[in-house]
Each structure stands twice: as C-alpha cells, then as structure tokens.
Structure 1
Amino acid sequence: MAGIRGDVNPARSAQRRRSFVPTTPERKHKGRGRVPKAGSGLDRVDAHIGGRLRLRRTLVGLSQTALGERVGVTFQQIQKYERGDNGIAASRLWQLAEVLDVPVGFFFDGMPAGGRHAAADPVPDTPMPPLGRRETLELVKCYYRIKDPRVRRRVFDLVKELVGALEGMLTPDPP
C-alpha cells in the first residue's frame, strides 16, 4: 500500500517541487500593458483618472457592482480602477464614459499640468478641490433627490442668494 495518496507518482511530485518558481510582482502581472514603476508618473495619471471615475460614479448614484455589471467587469476591477492600481484601456474608458454619461475628457479634467511629468510630490498645503470632498458629493446627491425641478431650482436660487448675502457681509465697505 502506498500511503494515503497511493495513486501519486513520487518521481513526478519531486519534479514538480524542483520546477517551482516563486511568484514576483512582475510574474504575477498578466495584463496586456505595462507594470508601472512606483513614481513613474503613470501611476499618478491612473490615480487621477480613477478619482474622477469614483467622483462621477458616486454623483450618479451607482455602486461599484452596478457600474461593473454595466461595463462587463467585476466590482473588484472597478475598485482597482478607482484606486489607480490598474490603468484603464481606452476602449474601457469609452464604455465607462458612456455609462456615466460624460465625455471621455471628463476623466482628464483637473489633471496637473505636465500630467505624468508633473512634480512627484504635490504641494502638501494644497487644499482638496471642492468637487473631491465628501461633503460636496453628499450635497449634490441630496439636491438631485428632489424630484420636482421647480423645487430644485428654488433651492438652487436660495443657495445662490445666501452665498451672495454672506459675501456681502464679509466684504468691508469702502471708506
């Protein structure tokens, strides 16, 4: 009797053990494109596009799962796109733009001058742009939950008046 797994050829098992090659990040990558090196700039471009993807997806009110289903990828892949871990192919970016009802250029709006050649370290005191803040997203979501366009317009006008009044209070009167 040959032990518990009697049908296993011991010579073949030894051959498998000898031919084992450890997996490195370069070997693990099976995509068609490149494996970006940290700090190469390509990862910053992917991160910017991913951030814009997340912004639009949340503004539209789609989950990662729902967006993934509409373009034929898993929610995990959408997560990787949004984090900038994976670059987005041009054809996939086109699909995402169609589903999210934005032009492809939307994903590049606000890209730092120089794109991937921009300075590696952003200025630390740079405030987050208003469109990237969670508060802005929540405000826009609430605004669009108002179904009646007339009421929505009145809320919009009210906010504009409020901002104008506050700005008038903050500006000193000329002497």
Structure 2
Amino acid sequence: MAHPVDIHVGKRIRHRRWLIGMTQQQLAEKVGIKFQQIQKYETGANRVSASRLWDISDALDVNISFFFEGLQDETAKVVPEKARVPADLMGDKEALDLVRSYYAIPENQRRRLFELARVLSDVA
C-alpha cells in the first residue's frame, strides 16, 4: 500500500505538470527517465528519491517545498490525533523524562511495560 506522503507528492507532481501544460513524456525526458516512472510517481506507487525530486522540481520550475504544501492537512486525515508524535520529541521535557525512566527499568520489566503500552495505545 502506498504511503500517504508518496501519494501527496505524486499528486503535486501531476498538478504542477498539468498547470504548465507538460506531458508525462516531456517531464520524463527532462529528468532522464521513462514516462512510466513518472506515472508511478504520480500515483504514489513508487517513492521519489530526494535527488529525483530535485530534478523534477527543476524540470517543473518549482521549489522542492511545493511538493509538500498541504501535506499536514492530508496526513491529518490518515493519522489519528493520538498517534501523532511532537515534531521536536527530544525537546519535550516530559518525553525525555519518560525515556530516562523507561531505560532505568530492568530489561525484562521494560519489555512487559512496552507490551502494555502497545496494547493500551491500540485500545485508546
């Protein structure tokens, strides 16, 4: 199954390509790949590597950030609010305290606590 980020980036590639009136074949030629690969990127079937996205952004005359615009809105539909991790997890004092406390627990008990947390997060 395609990752929501890959699908979003693919939609943005297609959107920009259509806006400037470029065919998949033309984009593929500018990037140096086959048009079938562009099709796979646009559907999210294949992930776009960083270097390939750089080439595509150059060919479509946009900044790389263009492909990620609106992503927050898209992923909010897919990832439940409770499952989100703060952007700066290691900058969160409570999270750091929790990690320190977790690793202070003996390993066999830590595994059991981990399983309990996993079960509770599935239920919540």
TM-score of the pair, normalised by structure 2: 0.59
Partner of 2:78: 120
Question: Looking at both structures, which has the greater relative contact order when contacts are Cα pairs under 8 Å and sequence separation is at least 6?
Answer: 2
Identity of aligned residues (%): 49
Q: Note if contact 2:8-2:74 (Cα within 8 Å) is conserved in structure 1.
A: no
Give CA-to-partner distance per residue, 1:87-144, whole Å, 9 cap, x none: 00000000000111100000000002584xx44389xxxxxxxxxxxxxxxxxxxxxx
Give CA-to-partner distance per residue, 1:1-26, whole Å, 9 cap, x none: xxxxxxxxxxxxxxxxxxxxxxxxxx
Of residues 39, 47, 53 in structure 2, which corresponds to 1:93?
Answer: 53
Find the structure with the greater CA-based Rg.
Answer: 1
Confirm whether residue 83 of structure 1 aligns to residue 58 of structure 2.
no
Confirm whether residue 54 of structure 1 aligns to residue 18 of structure 2.
no
* Cα distance change of structure 1 residues 61 and 105 upon mapping to structure 2, 3 Å threshold: same
Mapped partners of 1:53, 1:119: distance in 2: 21
Partner of 1:104: 64
Number of aligned residues: 80
Q: Note if contact 2:54-2:64 (Cα within 8 Å) is conserved in structure 1.
A: yes
Mapped partners of 2:57, 2:63: distance in 1: 6
Mapped partners of 1:112, 1:91: distance in 2: 23
* Ranges in structure 1 where 5+ consecutive residues have no aligned partner: 1-37, 123-175
| 1:43 Cα deviation from its structure 2 partner | 1.2
Secondary structure in 2 matching 1:57 = helix
Q: Note if contact 2:4-2:74 (Cα within 8 Å) is conserved in structure 1.
A: no
Letter in 2 for 1:120: V
**1:143-158 matched pairs, under 5 angstroms:** none
**Misfit runs of 4+, over 2 Å:** 112-115, 118-122
Mapped partners of 1:45, 1:105: distance in 2: 13
Secondary structure in 2 matching 1:50 = helix
* Ranges in structure 2 where 5+ consecutive residues have no aligned partner: 81-124
Q: Which has the higher helix share?
A: 2
Letter in 1 for 2:53: L
Secondary structure in 1 matching 2:11 = helix
Partner of 1:73: 33
Mapped partners of 2:42, 2:49: distance in 1: 13
* Cα distance change of structure 1 residues 43 and 72 upon mapping to structure 2, 3 Å threshold: same
Partner of 1:33: none
